[in-house]
A and B are shown apart, each in its own frame.
Chain A
Amino acid sequence: MSLLEIADYRLAFDTFDGTHHVLDGIDLALDAGETLGIVGETGCGKSVLAKSLLRLNECPPARVVSGAIRFKDQDLLTLDARAMRSLRGRAIAMVFQDPASFLNPVLGIGAQMTDAICGQDGAQPGGRRRSRREAARMAAELLASVGLPEPERILASYPHQLSGGMRQRVLIAMALAGKPALLVADEPTTALDVTVQAQVLALISDLVRSRGLALILISHDLGVISAACARVAVMYAGTIVEEAPTQALLAAPYHPYARGLIGAVPDLDRPGSRPRGIPGSIPSLLFPPSGCRFHPRCPRASGRCGVEKPLLRGIAPGRRVACHHPEGA
């Protein structure tokens, strides 16, 4: 029994220009304690997918076309708003890209954290509200658990007095307040410097291990995914094109897009290896290409690819690919 199961999930955005088919038949499963990276370029739908797990996409313009997202046997798409609220933070918590914009600049860290903690209690059916003092003690414990020294001093400060890395740690601590089973992190280190990024990634890995959290980490950076995730799903234009253990995918990708993506990353340790771009550009999701959405840019495309959408199928133990002509097969 998986912790999270996404089955044939389709999401569209209705806009002035027409319907954008943003997610097109996503199939994905995640066990408790598993770490999954979702990688892809701008507009591939990875953030929309992450937000879907908490139903954070505004409807309209978003519209669920079909499919199900089951979390511990509950279908998140049919839950009522109240049940969904109690799930947010307590079952599934989320960390976002820009830590500065998720903290209220005029409220102290302490107030925001105790609010978050007490809010969790309120959302719990029949739950007992903790006292402010209890909540403050818990906030200090949480801050210590994310490696922030002097939690009391942090609680007494305002967001602008903290560095970007500290703010992201505060947000991670707040995400942990409801003891979630799944942490969804959407580009959590993109706004951070590389030395701080390494610290935050190490922290996330530690928390995942020590608390038995499941992790979904969204990133455009294969290096970040490689650092923190055992498994990776590659998205292109609203579809998952390949899913595999991270190191196996990096060593030998099956999907031509995954191969192109890996080949485009410059390698610091091998300056001689020229990264190569992928010709063409990202397709419009308003009129997505027929068949395989990658076929207009694909070096291996055949006539079949323009007509028949390839399904995500098992190709080797633990590996799935959506391609009619996978590499090396």
Chain B
Amino acid sequence: MSTPRSEAVAAMAPLVEMRAVTKRFRVRRGAFHTTEIAAVSEVDLGLPRGTAVGLVGESGCGKSTVARLILRLLDPTAGSIRFDGTDITTLAEAGLRPLRRRMQLIHQNPSAALNPRMTAFASIAEPLVVQEGARGGVLVERVAALMAEVGLPGEFLHRYPHEMSGGQRQRVCIARALALGPSLVVLDEPTSALDVSVQAQILEFLQSLRSGHGLTYLFISHNLAVVRQVCDRVAVMYLGRIVEEGPADAVLSAPLHPYAQALLAAVPRLRQGGVLPSVAGDPPNPASPPSGCAFHPRCRFAEARCRTERPDLVAGGDGERRVACHAVAEGRI
């Protein structure tokens, strides 16, 4: 039994804490040669309880890898990950199983996230069967309740994924994620495969779920407008590192890091015609990352120091946020 005091301390500690987490993948180059690619490097990130933290960046920046590290679908190469006070960095699958019910994942593409040969009922029932051995009438009742909660009529119970629309499939995925009453839900681009009119419905629903169940979200998206709508905090990633992290409103209205600025400026706005490329070039290849600050080849503020010395993620700006940029630290931005 925990004392009220330790409970209060636990409530203040973040639900998830990543410390200097690094993930390297081995990649084959030719028949005899393998190299290592760092997908995620020294990431420090906390998910405070009950908040929605956005993770943004372009493809290959490592945001999905961060999600899978938190869920321990991947094993970190270095660093530590704590989930609700438990160090899960090296926990074996058997030790993880009880924690699995508390952390859930919602995929980008609901069509691929549902087994095409399982009905909505079978998909939603799976976590209940696996974790609790539920069966029979109890199982049917609980699945029906979950379907009602995500707004799916009972007639969908025995439909296969190909007999549903994209929005309905995503609701089945959400019901499956909710089945075990999780504390953390990792949403990996949950609406990017959906039409915009459906996206609005799903986002609204996700927000009401979070407040209703007191959930903590890690919300991965490349759509900054969606992140701004849903998230309390946001972390911007570039080539496996967090370059800026802070309150969503502040970061997404007045970003400090030059990459975050470029990202924001590149979003086509509805009510102003034309678009100016905010930054030249492509994101670099993770197999041969640039020296110093990974963004320096594309950065208009880059100086000699940026080419040689990697900036640390340190408090910057109003003190509410962390930025990894020499120019910001030196007051040039």
Same complex? yes
Chain A residues near B (Cβ < 8 Å)? 41-42, 163-166, 193-199, 201-202, 205, 220-224, 226-228, 230, 246-247, 250-251, 260-269, 271, 274-278, 281-282
How many angstroms between the C-alpha atoms of A275 and B200 in the bound complex? 6
Q: Which residues of A contact B269 (CB under 8 A)?
A: 223, 226-227, 268-269
B264 in contact with A268 (CB, 8 Å): yes
A226 in contact with B270 (CB, 8 Å): yes
Q: Which residues of A contact B319 (CB under 8 A)?
A: none
Q: Which residues of B contact A223 (CB under 8 A)?
A: 267-270
Chain B residues near A (Cβ < 8 Å)? 58-59, 165-168, 195-204, 222-226, 228-229, 249, 252-253, 262-280, 282-283
B270 in contact with A199 (CB, 8 Å): no
A281 in contact with B165 (CB, 8 Å): yes
**Closest chain A CB from B172 CB (angstroms):** 15
B268 in contact with A224 (CB, 8 Å): yes
B228 in contact with A266 (CB, 8 Å): yes
Interface of A is mostly: helix
Closest partner residue, chain B, to A225 (CB atom): B268
Closest A-B pairs by Cβ, 5 of them: A223-B268, A277-B201, A277-B200, A193-B58, A227-B275
Q: Which residues of A contact B196 (CB under 8 A)?
A: 41, 220-222, 261, 264-265, 275
Closest partner residue, chain A, to B275 (CB atom): A227
Could you list some 15 contacts between A and B, CB below 8 A? Answer: A42-B195, A194-B266, A195-B262, A198-B265, A198-B266, A202-B277, A226-B272, A227-B274, A227-B275, A266-B200, A267-B225, A267-B270, A275-B196, A277-B201, A277-B202
B58 in contact with A202 (CB, 8 Å): no
Closest partner residue, chain B, to A193 (CB atom): B58
How many angstroms between the C-alpha atoms of A247 and B274 in the bound complex? 11
Closest partner residue, chain A, to B201 (CB atom): A277
A195 in contact with B271 (CB, 8 Å): no
Closest partner residue, chain B, to A196 (CB atom): B282
Q: Which residues of B contact A265 (CB under 8 A)?
A: 196, 225, 270
How many angstroms between the C-alpha atoms of A164 and B282 in the bound complex? 9
B203 in contact with A275 (CB, 8 Å): yes
Closest partner residue, chain A, to B197 (CB atom): A278
- State which of B165, B197, B253 has its C-beta within 8 Å of the C-beta of A261: B197
